[in-house]
Amino acid sequence: MHFQQFTELAATLLSLLLVMAVDSTKTVAASRNQQCGNSLQQTLKLTRLAQKESVDLIKTYKASQGEMSELLCKVSVNNVPDPNISGLEPSEKIVSIYTHLQAFIPHFKRVYEQQTDLQIPTSPLLAELASASARSRNLAALVKSFYQSLFPNLPMPEPAGG
């Protein structure tokens, strides 16, 4: 009889510890999920804004180029980063997005420098290019933060040459 009470007490204690472990895991997971959710919401908002601004930037670019705008937009240009996302796992896809954003930053800089030779200093195109470049840097930082909150044990690989 004494042994049975001991096993019941041990089982009760084990159950209590198991419930506490699961509950604490849920609390940590909820905290991480809330952080990830906030980071994801910020990233999505900035992505939508960047996409809207890129449409505006293309319109401004075409308007600033005059009659040749359609031809210039269709010409193949060297050194333009590939916009296609790669990877099978979510972590690989997020790294691909981050790497591509990082690759576009020097591209925006080159385009801005070329356009400063062609545009007047008060050109709306120059302002929009500067804004797009800044937005890309901010988005890259948010994607990196999001990746680190989702995958805290995986280091974020830095892009080649960066």
- Among residues 141, 148, 128, which one has the least CA distance to residue 42? 141
Report pLDDT digits (tens) over 104-161. 888 888 888 888 888 888 988 899 889 888 888 888 888 888 888 888 888 887 765 5
Report pLDDT digits (tens) over 71-86. 555 655 666 666 677 7
For the entire predicted model, the pTM comes to 0.64
CA atoms within 13 Å, Cβ hemisphere of 70: 1
Q: Which residues contact 126 (CB under 8 A, 6 or more apart)?
A: 112, 115, 116, 119
Domain boundaries, the chain: 38-70+88-162
Report pLDDT digits (tens) over 20-42. 444 444 444 444 566 666 767 77
